[in-house]
Amino acid sequence: MSLRLKIFLPLVVFVLLFISYAKLQWLPQLTAFITQQHKEQLTGHLHSVGESLVPLLLEDQLANIHSILDSLLEDNPNWMQIELRDKDSKILYPIFSQPLPEAKSDVLVVRRPLKIYTRQIATIDVVVDISKDLENIKQLENHLFIGLLILLIIISLAVSIMVELIVSRPVQRLAEASNHIAKGNYTAPLPNKSSDEIGQLVGSFESMRTSLEDYNNRIKQEIEGHKSTAENLAEQKEHYAYHAAHDSLTGLINRREFESRLRAAIDRAYMDRATHTVLFIDLDKFKQLNDSCGHLAGDELLKQISRLIECHIRDRDSVARYGGDEFTVLLEFCPLDIATKIVTDLLSDMNEFVFTWEKQEYRIGASIGVAVITEHTKTIENAISAADNACYIAKENGRNCYHVHVPEQA
């Protein structure tokens, strides 16, 4: 139900109640009051007439009495009939008497005894037509109803306009502002503040909107702060995870990460009957260069050798600095023939590799042990030990070469 209708309905009910009250209470009381006033006026008039008739009755001057009463009928058009009787109820006026009509809503019958002192000498009855007065009351009633209807229409229009200007439009704009706030927009225009309750509502709404905007801004700032903290934590976690799995000097994965990948490869070899290959690489002349040129030269050599090894492995493979000048390589899903080719190419490039330090050139060779991982390989220790033993044999065979340790040799 709209606000206008909520205000209009009580007005209609009030007008209907007022009309009902006027119809059932006020107008009947007004009719009774007017009738009583007529009766009192007529009684008073008859009192005056009676005083003038008493002497004439005592002297039995009927002609004068008739003249007076005829004049009264002529002077009072609404007087329908006058009847004068003596103490014995004999009709003295009019000459040709008619029965008195009964009292009705539009006919008033008043009887007045004529006395001299306490002795009644006659009775006068007057019949008055009050239909015109009742008709005037009826017209008044109609005018009242019409006036009330017109007043109701005028008040309804006025209330409708006032509600539209004072209540509906401000409330509608507040509702639109609420919809904007629900969408995150805090800049929607508000109605002008007034000194009434609507103005207080607008002020409260504005304060609420400001509080919500401030709260939303604080939440956004906190969220941004949490995002920044989370990003920093994620970066730190990634940083720590990277450094936990990689060698800080060469950037290769470290021994622990390599062993983790090797363990997963052994599990796949067992479940999928796959073949992998592990390389154990030991630089031949690293200790001499490190002792003669210093640790800085040794560190630079390890970095360059790391890049060289990475150039010979595939994307799926893993190369790690296992410790000191030792490197390990996991060639996943790589049978021995392909692994042998990779090792041969790697040794060839390492033989041609020249390390320059302080304008001095150094050649660094490498011994490589090769171990095959099959479904029969049990542990990472078995795989690393096999490759390490093969590397040791390669060193005994003159270095700068490789040796294969197959599972059957284990």
More confident residue, 73 or 188: 73
Three-class SS state of 170: helix
Q: What's the average model confidence in pLDDT over 189-210? A: 74
The confidence score (pLDDT) of residue 251 equals 93
Q: What's the average model confidence in pLDDT over 93-99? A: 76
The confidence score (pLDDT) of residue 249 equals 93
Q: In this predicted structure, which of 215-229, 294-308, 321-335 has the lowest mean pLDDT?
A: 215-229
Q: What's the average model confidence in pLDDT over 375-381? A: 91
Rounded distance between C-alpha atoms, residue 94 and residue 68, angstroms: 12
More confident residue, 206 or 333: 333
Q: What's the average model confidence in pLDDT over 160-189? A: 74
What residue has token string 């209807």?
149
Query: Taking a C-beta distance cutoff of 8 angstroms, is the pair 174, 202 a contact?
Result: yes
Query: What confidence tier does 410 reach under pLDDT thresholds 50, 70, 90?
Result: very low
The confidence score (pLDDT) of residue 341 equals 96
Query: What confidence tier does 31 reach under pLDDT thresholds 50, 70, 90?
Result: confident
Q: What secondary structure letter does DSSP report for 100?
A: P
pLDDT in tens, 174-187: 777 778 777 777 77
The confidence score (pLDDT) of residue 406 equals 66
Q: Which residues of 29-47 are buried (b: 16+ CB within 10 A; e: fewer)?
A: eebeeebeebeeebeebbe
Rounded distance between C-alpha atoms, residue 6 and residue 326, angstroms: 92
**pLDDT of 3 above 70:** no
Strand order in the sheet with 91-93: 91-93, 79-86, 119-129, 107-116
Phi, psi for residue 76 in degrees, rounded to 5: -125, 90
Would you mind telling me the total number of residues written for the chain in this entry? 410
Query: What confidence tier does 20 reach under pLDDT thresholds 50, 70, 90?
Result: confident
Two tokens, residue 70: 């005829």
Query: What confidence tier does 409 reach under pLDDT thresholds 50, 70, 90?
Result: very low
More confident residue, 86 or 184: 86
The confidence score (pLDDT) of residue 199 equals 72
Query: What confidence tier does 6 reach under pLDDT thresholds 50, 70, 90?
Result: low
Q: In this predicted structure, which of 2-16, 34-48, 243-257, 326-340 has the lowest mean pLDDT?
A: 2-16
pLDDT in tens, 266-316: 999 999 999 999 999 999 889 889 889 999 999 999 999 999 999 999 999
The torsion angle over the Cα atoms of residues 70, 76, 77 and 82, rounded to 10 degrees, is: -50
Rounded distance between C-alpha atoms, residue 69 and residue 57, angstroms: 13
Mean pLDDT of the chain: 84
Two tokens, residue 130: 């009050």
pLDDT in tens, 278-290: 999 999 889 889 8
Q: In this predicted structure, which of 106-115, 253-262, 396-405 has the lowest mean pLDDT?
A: 106-115
pLDDT in tens, 237-247: 888 888 889 99
35-39, 65-69, 114-118: which has the highest mean pLDDT?
A: 65-69
Rounded distance between C-alpha atoms, residue 410 and residue 405, angstroms: 8
Query: What confidence tier does 103 reach under pLDDT thresholds 50, 70, 90?
Result: low
C-alpha pair distances (Å), 94 with each of 81, 82, 130, 201, 388: 9, 7, 22, 82, 162
Taking residue 232's Cβ as centre, other Cβ atoms within 10 Å add up to: 10
Looking at CATH, the fold of the domain delimited by 255-409 is given as Alpha-Beta Plaits (3.30.70)
Q: What secondary structure letter does DSSP report for 168?
A: I
